[in-house]
Structure 1
Amino acid sequence: MKAMTLLAAAMAAGLPQGTAAQDADIAAGKAYAETICAACHAILPDEEVSPLLAATPFQEVANTRGMTELALTVWLQSSHPTMPNIILEQDDMRNVVAYIRSLKGG
């Protein structure tokens, strides 16, 4: 847990200015998710099961306690053993983060 906190702090220090959700485009984030993420993840609010059962549905990610913009950004930039190494451009990252956060509460 301490390592994750340090990682989050390091990532926050390295984030370029203007990475705030208000600069993001939720519709573009959804479009990116439909193109890149939907093969494995349930990306829509009414989807409870991902095509790849081990892939967490975006709705569940959004509703995870403590899942902030920063936490999602760190999560998307960290390698996952079961996930392909997808490198998101900063605009795509902001947009996908904003889209996932838009699913919170559903």
Structure 2
Amino acid sequence: MATALILSISAYAQEPGDAKAGYAFAQRNCAECHAVGRGQTESQNQDAPSFESVAKTGGMTGRALVVWLETSHPTMPNFLFSEKDRNDVVAYILSLKPVPAQ
């Protein structure tokens, strides 16, 4: 168990950002539409994926999330992130990825 935790922490250590700050930012700015908490699967807006489902998308990386967050979407308002806020949200979403079984 401790090994899995250490591996999960080191796997995300390469990504810039503070997951705790990203969660706080998401609660303030994203939760109106998205389910942002761990274990929350149903978003307020049916067209808005939960953060956990985004994290579980095959091949999801920090770079892919940055591109996703910086690309306008027809169903998402244009939202401008500071680089710090964006990196924090990316770190938080990546923290929701399941830890691979050893």
Please give the TM-score of this superposition, normalised by the length of structure 2: 0.81
CA-CA distance at 1:99 after TM superposition = 0.1
Corresponding position of 1:13? none
Corresponding position of 1:74? 67
Aligned residues: 86
Q: Where does the alignment leave 5 or more consecutive residues of structure 1 unmatched?
A: 1-19
Spell out structure 1 runs of 4+ moving beyond 2 A. Answer: none
Corresponding position of 1:6? none
CA-CA distance at 1:57 after TM superposition = 0.3
**Identity over aligned residues, as a percent?**
47
Counterpart code for 1:49 = E
Please give the TM-score of this superposition, normalised by the length of structure 1: 0.78
Corresponding position of 1:10? none
Counterpart code for 1:29 = G
Counterpart code for 2:29 = I
Q: Where does the alignment leave 5 or more consecutive residues of structure 2 unmatched?
A: 1-13
Q: Does 1:26 align with 2:3?
A: no
CA-CA distance at 1:66 after TM superposition = 1.2
- Write the distance in 1 (CA, Å) between the matches of 2:98 and 2:30: 21
